[in-house]
Amino acid sequence: MDKVLVFDVWSEYAYFRKFFTTTSPLTFSLPPRTALCGLMGAILGLSKDTYLKKFPKKDARFAIRLLNPVKKIRFSENLIDTESVSTMNIIKQHTRIQFEFLKDAKYRIYFSHSDPGVYSSALEMISGHKCVYTPCLGITEHIANFGFIDEYHLDRRENPDEVMLDSVIPKDQIREIQFETGKEYMSETLPNEMAEDRTVNEYQQFMFERNCKPISVKVNHFYELGNHERILFM
């Protein structure tokens, strides 16, 4: 896995539901790794029952960078009970619930895979702006577009001095952080790996800057790309 596929993905709205919300659904500030697996599965044409087999952490690596500031809005939606009636036109009752969404979401995705076949398929599809299923950011209502950036060689840097990282950073990999004025630091705990029965096996806490600025940290290692971006995988 010495090469990485880099592409951008964006949508007017995005929604990645926080697992602990019920009556007022809230969204994470960025797509969890589990959502990125689903996005890649849609592009490659993998079914919902099979795509998780292709992207375990030991084989598939994802990193993500914010390209637009984190901006959340709320508005109400009418939910209807489709199981209580046989046809849609006779549904009379609905429940109005306020949802939180991400506005103007845009991210840079970095992807590598130990299976050359999976990786080459992803490279072919994304570089050709092709997909099998319609990609979305979180739910099917938020259709996403994507654009190929490039393929780069991964250079692993060990035990560096303080470094500016462009990607979202796993918090357990941070040895020391340099907080700077003018930056808005955020951290969130995201589902990071899911079993085939859709049980979450791992949660991970990540740190990022709300307005897409790099963060100055000391870490045990990081990866530098040919375009001089510096990342850590989720």
Domain 3-231: top CATH class = alpha beta
Q: What pLDDT digit, counting tens, does each position of 64-77 carry?
A: 999 999 999 987 77
| Per-residue pLDDT at 186 | 96
**Which amino acid would we find at residue 19?**
F
Tell me: the pLDDT tens digits for 181-206?
999 999 999 999 888 777 888 999 99
In angstroms, the CA 61 to CA 66 distance is 17
Distance CA 103, CA 101 (A): 6
pTM of the predicted protein model: 0.91
Residues of the chain predicted below pLDDT 50: none
- 212: tokens are 């897409």
CA distance 208 to 212: 8
**How far is Cα 90 from Cα 218, in angstroms, rounded to an integer?**
60
Q: In what order do the strands lie in the sheet with 221-224?
A: 155-158, 221-224, 230-231
Instruction: Determine the pLDDT at residue 145.
Output: 97
Tokens describing residue 78: 């009418």
d(CA 183, CA 210): 8
- The set of residues, in sequence order, having a beta carbon less than 8 Å from that of 212 and lying 6+ positions away, is 65, 66, 67, 68, 69
Residue 28, token pair as written in the block: 């994470």
Shortest CA distance to 43 belongs to which of 138, 139, 123? 123
Domain ranges of the chain: 3-231
